[in-house]
Structure formats: C-alpha cells, structure tokens
C-alpha cells in the first residue's frame, strides 16, 4: 500500500514538474516576443482610432509586458495541463472510460478554441461601447488616454471570461450524459432564454442593431445547441435501453 502511494506521489511530482517547466518555457518565449503579442493585443483599438497607449509609472510598461506574457502563457498551457491530468488518471480507467474521456477532452478543446477566437472578435465591440462615452461638444473634450497596464489587464480578464462562457456546451454535454438535464425542460424555457438573450445583447453591446442582434443570436444558438445535445443523449440512452431489452 505504501509503495503504491509513493508511486502516485512521484507521478504527481513529475506531472507538476512538466506543467511548471512548460509554463516557464512558454512564458520565456512569449516574453521575448512580447512586442509582437502586444501589437495583436492592441490591434482591436486601431480600427477605433486609438493608436496611443501611455504609462504613468516608470515600471508600468515592464509590468505590462510581464502581465501579458503571464496571461498568454496561462491560456496556452491550459490544454497541456488538462493532458497531464488525463495522463495521471488514465491508467486506472477502463477502455470505455478512456474513450469517453477522449471525446470529452475533444469537445472541451473545441469549445476552448472557439472561446478564444470569439473573444478576439468581441474585443472591438466592448472597446467601442466604452469609448463611445467620450464627449466632444460645446468646448468640452472628454477623451480616452488609455494606460497600457489597465488595458492589458482588462483584455486578459475578458478573454478568460469569454473562454469560460464558451465552456457552456461542454458542461451541458456532461450534464446531459449523466441525465441531469432533460430536453423537455429546456424546450419549455426556450422563450424565456430567447428574451434574456435579446436583453443581454441590448445591455452589453454598442447602440447599433447589428451588434445587439448578433450577440443575442449567439446566445440563442448556444442554448439551441444545448437542446440538441440533450436530444442526442436521450436518443442514445433509448437505443441502449432497447438493445438491452432485446438481448434479455
């Protein structure tokens, strides 16, 4: 028993070491090329006419580069950390459990990538919304002088937030697999969710009808995808039940 515990502890140490070294290597590479990543980070502001960021403390630009490198490295290493977790638990799983783990990991990875791409598309909408509160009339000018560190901090947190939202189909699939959600309940609440989607689209998007409609449409599509996933799992369970009855 003690030997098995020692083996597991050593395995945990190796996995943590691999994860830490992967993060350090990624952080080093990203920090070396931080200027390139910084250009991509501020690109959503260029189309809005903002091409200038400032820093008010002597160490702020350096801290911003560290923070940007840390955020990018963290996001890029999340799939590798998931792989290390799966490798740790995989020896104790059956072949069927490994098969399901592989499918769930693929679904999670797709949702994760879609979330990152969606976040980069969503940035200009968010910045346009906040920059739209500037005033330039009657001799009064209220203009944005964006500091680099708060901007990058908001960028990273917004990316993480949208990435978490993109995981909704994944967790919905898990809930449907374990029969925690029924398609009938989801269908009955469809109108409420559509109304909430329109309301959220109107609240968080700029005052143009296209952006509001697009955000509401994306939220509604996610909900319809959850309904489709629940239906697929229910049909799959019914097929298994019918096959088991026929064999009996």
176-195 tens-digit pLDDT: 777 777 777 778 888 888 88
Q: Which of 41, 36, 171 is nearest to 111 (CA)?
A: 171
Do 128 and 31 share a structural domain?
yes
Shared domain check, 76 and 140? yes
For residues 86, 88, 89, 92, the Cα torsion angle rounded to the nearest 10 degrees is 130
Name the domain boundary from 166, 195, 223.
166
Whole-number Å distance between alpha carbons of 155 and 172:
27
Residue 181, helix vs strand vs coil = coil
Mean pLDDT of 69-91: 88
Whether residue 246 is predicted with pLDDT greater than 70 in this model: the reply is no
pLDDT (0 to 100) of residue 20: 94
Q: Are residues 192 and 152 in the same domain?
A: no
31 and 94 belong to one structural domain:
yes
Q: Which helix (H) or strand (E) element contains residue 233?
A: helix 209-247
What value does the mean pLDDT take over residues 132-150?
Answer: 70
Quote the CA–CA distance of 70 and 160 in Å, as a whole number: 13
- What pLDDT is attached to residue 157? 80
Q: Strand locations in 107-215, DSSP E?
A: 135-137, 140-142
Q: Residue 241: helix, strand or coil by DSSP? A: helix
Q: Which run of H or of E encompasses 230?
A: helix 209-247
- Cβ neighbourhood burial of 89 (10 Å; 0-12, 13-18, 19+): exposed
How many angstroms separate the CA atoms of 222 and 200, rounded? 14
Residue finishing a domain among 137, 166, 195: 166
Q: What is the tally of structural domains in the chain? A: 2
Same domain, 80 and 97: yes
Is the pTM above the cut of 0.75? no
Q: In the chain, which residue ranges form alpha helices assigned H by DSSP?
A: 2-32, 34-46, 60-89, 95-131, 148-165, 168-177, 183-188, 190-204, 209-247
Range(s) of the domain holding residue 93: 1-166
| Averaged pLDDT score across all residues of the chain | 80
Residue 221 binned pLDDT confidence (cut-offs 50, 70, 90): confident
């Amino acid at each position: 028993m003690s030997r098995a515990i020692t083996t597991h502890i050593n395995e945990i140490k190796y996995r943590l070491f691999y994860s830490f070294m992967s993060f350090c290597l990624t952080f080093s590479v990203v920090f070396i090329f931080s200027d390139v990543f910084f250009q991509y980070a501020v690109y959503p502001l260029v189309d809005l006419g903002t091409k200038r960021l400032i820093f008010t403390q002597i160490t702020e630009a350096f801290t911003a580069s560290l923070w940007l490198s840390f955020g990018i490295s963290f996001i890029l290493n999340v799939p590798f950390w998931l792989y290390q977790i799966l490798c740790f638990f995989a020896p104790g799983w059956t072949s069927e459990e490994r098969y399901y783990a592989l499918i769930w990991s693929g679904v999670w990875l797709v949702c994760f990538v879609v979330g990152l791409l969606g976040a980069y598309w969503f940035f200009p909408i968010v910045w346009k919304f906040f920059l739209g509160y500037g005033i330039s009339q009657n001799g009064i000018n209220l203009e944005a002088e964006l500091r680099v560190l708060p901007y990058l901090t908001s960028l990273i947190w917004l990316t993480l937030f949208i990435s978490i939202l993109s995981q909704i189909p994944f967790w919905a699939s898990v809930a449907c697999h374990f029969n925690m959600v029924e398609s009938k309940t989801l269908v009955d609440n469809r109108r409420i969710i559509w109304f909430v989607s329109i309301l959220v689209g109107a609240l968080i998007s700029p005052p143009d009808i296209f952006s509001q409609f697009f955000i509401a449409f994306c939220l509604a599509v996610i909900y319809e995808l959850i309904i489709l996933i629940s239906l697929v799992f229910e049909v799959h369970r019914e097929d298994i039940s019918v096959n088991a009855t026929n064999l009996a």
